[in-house]
Amino acid sequence: MRERDETPYFVIEREGGSSGVGAFLAGALLGAGVALLFAPRTGEETQREIRERATHLKESAEERMREAQKQVEDRLDQARTELMDRVDAVREAVESGKDSAREARGELEEKIERSKAAARAGVDAAREEAKKKGEASD
């Protein structure tokens, strides 16, 4: 017989980013172990119970893993969609900026041409005026 100081105990540590699957499995194992220790059954009944619980635990763990995988896939799809929306918005903004730059350049070129034409007209008018003054002084 064991003495009271030799009673086994369990230490369960939880890491910061644990998803709960590890804690679930540890709790299930701990519960199954305690149930087996305190249940008055024959060896055959105990073995059958262990198999049944192990099967149930396996199925439950598989279901939780499928659910977790589905959640990860859903979140990945959502993130991918949001990223593509942002990429499209950036593309639209770049195209809009290019269009605005083209328009501004066209307007600037028109203003420059009008300024050149006005300057030429002013020079031509000044020459005409100088020519008239030169003819008048002769």
**What average pLDDT does range 20-40 have in this prediction?**
75
**What pLDDT does 3 receive?**
52
- Please tell me which residue, 99 or 20, carries the higher pLDDT value: 99
pLDDT of 34 > 60? The answer is: yes
- Cα 27 to Cα 33, 34, 54: the distances in Å are 10, 11, 13
**What average pLDDT does range 13-30 have in this prediction?**
67
Predicted confidence (pLDDT) per residue in 77-96, tens digit? 999 999 999 999 999 999 99
Domain boundaries, the chain: 8-137
130 — pLDDT class (breaks 50, 70, 90): confident
Q: State if pTM tops 0.75.
A: no
To the nearest 10 degrees (0 to 180), the angle between helices 21-38 and 43-137 is 170
Residue 9 phi/psi, 5-degree rounding, is -140, 160
